[in-house]
Amino acid sequence: MKERAKDFAEKAHAGQKRKNSDAPYITHPIRVAERLERAGFSDGLVCAGYLHDVVEDTPYDIEDIEAEFGIRVGTLVAAHTEDKSKSWLERKQHTINMIKHAENDIKYLIVADKLDNLLGMEKDIADQGDKVWENFNAGIEKQKWYNKSIAENMYIGMDRAKIPAYFQEFEDAVKRVFG
């Protein structure tokens, strides 16, 4: 199932590029899925890692994901998918609210995604400087608010024994990038 999810995501994101680079977009979902797999999570969660941006950024919808990968994977992807009809602030506030109250698998997916984005942003800043912020819908102050809010709320309701090491990696990256 994981290989099918990877193939599906590769086809869905074909031709897309990452912000601030010419890297194929698919490199991001692959890294997210690999991080989830290294942490020892279920095949369904790893599949959701590959597929987490498909509904948001391609013509496919949740029904396509559910038909191909089942209700559980569809539920995880749906929980992580932003409603692009909403403003940037509304979408980010929804994610913050989601991470406060979501089940662990959704928290694991969101933080794996946000960590990969932030590590990419950190590299881009090192390579390109502050002009990186021009390519985002929100500048540095809003990005700082968003990422710090994720870090502050991701542990709510979690048993310490179930917190993966990459949550600390995310906190550390937030401190490095935003002070």
Q: What is the pLDDT of residues 61-117, one digit of tens each?
A: 999 999 999 999 999 999 989 888 999 999 999 999 999 999 999 999 999 999 999
- Which is the catalytic residue, given 10, 34, 43, 56? 56
State yes or no: pLDDT of 129 exceeds 90: no
Which residue reads 């602030």 in tokens?
Answer: 89
Residue 57 among the catalytic residues: yes
- Determine contact, residues 175/115, Cβ cutoff 8 Å: no
Residue 127 among the catalytic residues: no
φ, ψ dihedrals at 62, nearest 5°: -60, -40
Which residue reads 């990256």 in tokens?
Answer: 173
Question: Where exactly are the structural domains of the chain?
Answer: 2-178
Q: pLDDT grade, residue 134 (50/70/90)?
A: confident
Say if domain 2-178 classifies as CATH 1.10.3720.10.
no
- Which is the catalytic residue, given 57, 66, 122, 152? 57
Q: Which of 107, 118, 116, 108 is nearest to 146 (CA)?
A: 118
